Amino acid sequence: MDTDRRRFLETLGFLGAAGLLATNANAGDPMPLPDPMRELRPSSADLGSLYADVERLAANRPYEHAFVGGRFRDVEEFKKTARDKVFELLMYRPEQTPFRAEVVDRTERDTHIREKILFSTSPHFRVPAYVLIPRNLKGRGPAIVDLHSHGGMFLFGKEKVIDLGRNHAAMTDYHRRNYDGRPTATELVRRGYIVISIDAFMFGERRLIMDADLKHGWDRARYSLDDVRVLNLQCRSKETTLAKALTWAGLTWPGIVFWDDIRTVDYLVSRADVDRDRIGCLGISMGGYRACFLAALDERIRAACVTGFMSTLRPMIQAHVDTHSWVHFVPGLQRYLDLPDVATLHAPRPLLVQQCQQDRLFPPAGMRASIERIADGYAKAGAKDRFMGRFYDVPHTFTRVMQDDAIDWFDRHLRK
């Protein structure tokens, strides 16, 4: 084939691939085969048309380690087997390491002393925390681990539950919207509890900072509200990146979060001013999720309050997936335990679950079913009177009324 003819044919091939040659249907060009007929219906689901497939996959799958109606007759056998499985799936249980705790700031307030501390939760992390101590404390006092929420606010963590006196404007607004203007840790210390709150991984002083964001600097006190908004959006866009990166590292995000919370209890019991037999935990939203798992995994939590985070999970697959953070997903857990089954691991110790009736993060049927499932578990454990599930006709928030009920619950079980 001569050079000119070859170039001509190559040109024809290029033009055809680019769709630049005219086609002539009358010349017998084949038409694409039609797809088989299929009726299209709206699903009202986060997964669209694939929801039906996932629903079929999830249907009739038993929770293998459930206590209610499950394989365990004895609550202690259930707790050991199920706890071991949860730790296995979390994929993060590092070697114990000395705390090397240091107080980096100490501030005297009217009702309490506030310590800013750093301590090691593993060989990998130095974790910042606030510890609030009642000014009139005599001897060893009861203590609460106050677990901060998510709320799309990554730039602040422990500050969400504390009135520092001089708060960032973003926190003033956050306290108003999420805590009825009264952050829980400050109210708890006013009522006589030692309180600790740490920054969860990816929040506060452990937040993600991209190279493009270095121009904003490190000092959050200098951030404008617009800076906070922009940087929060950046962090939110990187949740998936964090979850994927940790997966490749053989880890899970919730595994790191829960381990740090457990080590926070370790630190509390090491303090000379804390009564190790009177420790509780609470939180709303992601804080409630953390409280659920901390109470489930650590026997030293003698009483717990889970607020604004409880539902059976399969009803959530349809339209409550995209509303939740990657930190709320433990891969493989729902083969073994539903979320109320995790809560039941706290039995027979006292547990209060506060549900927000107008909460859009959970389906009402799932919230009601979760309360029934936990109640059945506590009854089977012989501790029916140590569980309480309450509904409040409010949206996703920790109102002062709810806080008062939670503190009354702790007073009843930690001040005997």
d(CA 189, CA 407): 11
Are residues 304 and 291 in contact, defined by beta-carbon separation less than 8 angstroms?
yes
Kindly give the residue spans of alpha helices, DSSP state H, lying in 238-363.
239-248, 253-270, 286-297, 339-344
pLDDT at 96: 87
Nearest to 146 by CA among 19, 335, 283: 283
Nearest-10 crossing angle of helices 239-248, 253-270: 90
In which order are the strands placed within the sheet that holds 387-392? 102-108, 112-120, 126-134, 194-198, 141-146, 274-284, 303-307, 351-356, 387-392
In a 13 Å sphere around the CA of 412, the CA atoms on its Cβ side amount to 17
User: What are the pLDDT digits (tens) for 314-353?
Assistant: 999 999 999 999 999 999 999 999 999 999 999 999 999 9
Q: How far is CA 342 from the centre of its chain?
A: 14
**What backbone torsions phi and psi does residue 408 show, to the nearest 5 degrees?**
-60, -40
d(CA 168, CA 164): 9
User: For residue 10, is pLDDT > 60?
Assistant: no
pLDDT at 291: 98
DSSP state of 63: -
pLDDT at 28: 62
pLDDT at 25: 45
d(CA 362, CA 351): 20
β-bridge partners, 105: 116
Average pLDDT, the chain: 93
Model-level pTM? 0.91
**What backbone torsions phi and psi does residue 128 show, to the nearest 5 degrees?**
-85, 145
d(CA 12, CA 6): 10
User: For residue 384, is pLDDT > 70?
Assistant: yes
d(CA 43, CA 48): 6
d(CA 365, CA 311): 8
| For range 13-34, the mean pLDDT | 57
More confident residue, 224 or 29: 224
| For range 127-153, the mean pLDDT | 97
User: What are the pLDDT digits (tens) for 73-89?
Assistant: 899 999 999 999 999 99
Residue 242 tokens, joined: 């964090």
Give the amino acid at 367: M
β-bridge partners, 198: 129
Residue 310 tokens, joined: 């409880």
Q: What sign has the CA pseudo-torsion 220, 223, 224, 227? A: negative
Report in angstroms the alpha-carbon separations of 41 from 47, 50, 87.
13, 12, 41
User: For residue 17, is pLDDT > 50?
Assistant: no
Are residues 264 and 287 in contact, defined by beta-carbon separation less than 8 angstroms?
no
pLDDT at 60: 83
DSSP state of 94: P
User: For residue 9, is pLDDT > 70?
Assistant: no
User: For residue 23, is pLDDT > 50?
Assistant: no
d(CA 202, CA 383): 37
Of 51-60, 147-156, 275-284, which gets the smallest average pLDDT? Answer: 51-60
Nearest to 148 by CA among 121, 176, 184: 184
β-bridge partners, 117: 103, 129
User: For residue 16, is pLDDT > 80?
Assistant: no
E strand map for 73-221: 102-108, 112-120, 126-134, 141-146, 194-198
d(CA 171, CA 174): 5
User: For residue 283, is pLDDT > 80?
Assistant: yes
